[in-house]
């Protein structure tokens, strides 16, 4: 089984693209929406929450976990790979969304890149680090968008004020560098506001979302790692776990995933 983890609903935008490309595998999604957003939390807290999530997903039988969240990928992935996995689950793998996204942009010849992300990702400067390894001549400009995840998790993406907020964040980004050629929506929630981003961005500027990138990169990863791929179950099942339910839950989940989903409750914590 392949596990997906996000702070809430955002990772569903990635899972949706992955199952379109690789439908044969079994997938288990975990959204910690009770504690979302993670974007303003400390790296230590994000790391603790991620260990709980990883324990949950591995105990359910996942061999491979995709951290479908930039905030978690920037704040916890390296420690999970270097400190937690070797001790707790040496035969399992956890991969994130930052490195694959940076690789894709470098391969696509992007030069002046605007990164729209949560405060946690912006503070970490993780994209600068990755681009320095891949193409030090690429220039990176960050804009934190702290209001967007709460707006999206509240299901208010279609309201007029969300359009205003998007346009203000874009103005601040372009005020840093007017010749930005590519914008990466570096938060898995933001594709829900894609149309608003497009409306307020000059037409020659590319806007990239991460779902299609992760789907391609996962296919390549599995081809390069047959020892993991051979152990994945393939009945085409999908299971969705969330840490909180509310009235708007089903509507929101289907907005992100594109079809109705049957969800189950998850409890994360020391007794996982
Ligand atoms: N979807 C997450 C990301 O990609 C962020 C959500 C949050 O702030 O919880 O960064």
Whether the CB of 73 sits within 6 Å of ligand 1: no
The DSSP H or E segment spanning 207 is strand 206-208
pLDDT value at position 100? Answer: 97
Specify whether the CB–CB gap between 147 and 177 falls below 8 A.
Answer: no
Cα–Cα distance between 69 and 38 in angstroms, integer? Answer: 10
**Which atom of ligand 1 is the closest one to the Cα of 8?**
9
pTM over 0.85: yes
**Distance from residue 89's CA to the centre of ligand 1 (Å):** 25
CATH 3.40.50.1860 residue spans of the chain: 2-97+212-265, 98-210
Cβ neighbours for 76, distance < 8 A, ≥ 6 positions apart: 43, 46, 47, 49, 50, 67
**Distance from residue 102's CA to the centre of ligand 1 (Å):** 17
pLDDT tens per residue, range 60-117: 999 999 999 999 999 899 999 999 999 999 999 999 999 999 999 999 999 999 999 9
Burial of 74-103, coded b for 16+ CB within 10 Å and e otherwise, reads: bbbbebbeeebbeeebeebbbbbbbbbbbb
Q: Which one, of 114, 178, 190, lies nearest residue 151 by Cα?
A: 190
Domain 98-210 is in which class? alpha beta
- The pLDDT-based confidence of 154 (bands split at 50, 70, 90) is confident
Cα–Cα distance between 66 and 20 in angstroms, integer? Answer: 16
Q: Which two tokens stand for residue 242?
A: 């969330």
Identify the weakest region by mean pLDDT among 12-21, 30-39, 168-177.
30-39
Q: Is 145 a catalytic residue?
A: no
Cα–Cα distance between 158 and 25 in angstroms, integer? Answer: 33
Cα–Cα distance between 15 and 31 in angstroms, integer? Answer: 12
pLDDT value at position 156? Answer: 87
Query: If 0-12 CB within 10 Å is exposed, 13-18 middle and 19+ buried, where does residue 131 land?
Result: buried
Report the DSSP beta bridge partners of residue 94: 65
Cβ neighbours for 82, distance < 8 A, ≥ 6 positions apart: none
**Which atom of ligand 1 is the closest one to the Cα of 7?**
9
DSSP secondary structure string for all residues of 71-89: HHHHHTHHHIIIIIHHHH-
pLDDT tens per residue, range 196-234: 999 999 999 999 999 999 999 999 999 999 999 999 999
DSSP-derived letter for residue 193 is G
Cα–Cα distance between 14 and 25 in angstroms, integer? Answer: 15
Write down the mean pLDDT value for the chain.
Answer: 95
**Distance from residue 226's CA to the centre of ligand 1 (Å):** 30
Whether the CB of 191 sits within 6 Å of ligand 1: no
Specify whether the CB–CB gap between 9 and 256 falls below 8 A.
Answer: yes
Please state the φ and ψ torsions of residue 33, each to the nearest 5 degrees.
-70, -20
pLDDT value at position 271? Answer: 47
Of 62, 69, 110, 145, the catalytic one is 69
pLDDT value at position 247? Answer: 64
- The pLDDT-based confidence of 270 (bands split at 50, 70, 90) is low
**Which atom of ligand 1 is the closest one to the Cα of 74?**
10
Q: Is 110 a catalytic residue?
A: no
CATH architecture of 2-97+212-265: 3-Layer(aba) Sandwich (3.40)
Specify whether the CB–CB gap between 115 and 186 falls below 8 A.
Answer: yes
Cα–Cα distance between 76 and 41 in angstroms, integer? Answer: 12
């Amino acid at each position: 089984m392949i596990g997906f983890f996000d702070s809430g609903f955002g990772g569903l935008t990635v899972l949706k693209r992955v199952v379109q490309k690789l439908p044969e595998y079994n997938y288990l999604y975990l959204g910690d929406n009770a504690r979302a957003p993670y974007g303003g939390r400390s790296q230590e807290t994000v790391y603790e929450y991620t260990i709980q999530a990883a324990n949950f997903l591995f105990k359910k039988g996942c061999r491979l976990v995709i951290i479908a969240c930039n905030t978690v990928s920037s704040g916890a992935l390296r420690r999970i790979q270097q400190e937690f996995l070797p001790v707790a689950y040496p035969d399992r793998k956890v991969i994130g969304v930052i490195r694959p996204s940076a690789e894709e942009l470098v391969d696509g010849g992007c030069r002046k890149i605007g990164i729209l992300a949560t405060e946690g990702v912006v503070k970490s400067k993780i994209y600068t680090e990755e681009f320095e390894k891949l193409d030090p001549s690429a220039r990176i400009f960050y804009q934190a968008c702290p209001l967007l995840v709460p707006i999206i998790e509240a299901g208010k993406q279609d309201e007029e004020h969300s359009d205003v907020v998007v346009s203000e964040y874009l103005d601040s980004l372009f005020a840093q560098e007017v010749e930005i050629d590519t914008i990466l929506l570096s938060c898995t929630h933001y594709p829900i506001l894609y149309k608003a981003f497009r409306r307020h961005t000059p037409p020659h500027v590319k806007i990239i979302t991460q779902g299609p990138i992760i789907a391609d990169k996962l296919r390549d990863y599995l081809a390069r790692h047959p020892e993991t791929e051979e152990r994945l179950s393939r009945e085409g099942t999908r299971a969705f776990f969330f840490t909180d339910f509310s009235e708007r839950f089903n509507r929101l989940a289907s907005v992100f995933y594109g079809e109705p989903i049957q969800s189950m409750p998850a409890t994360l914590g020391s007794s996982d």
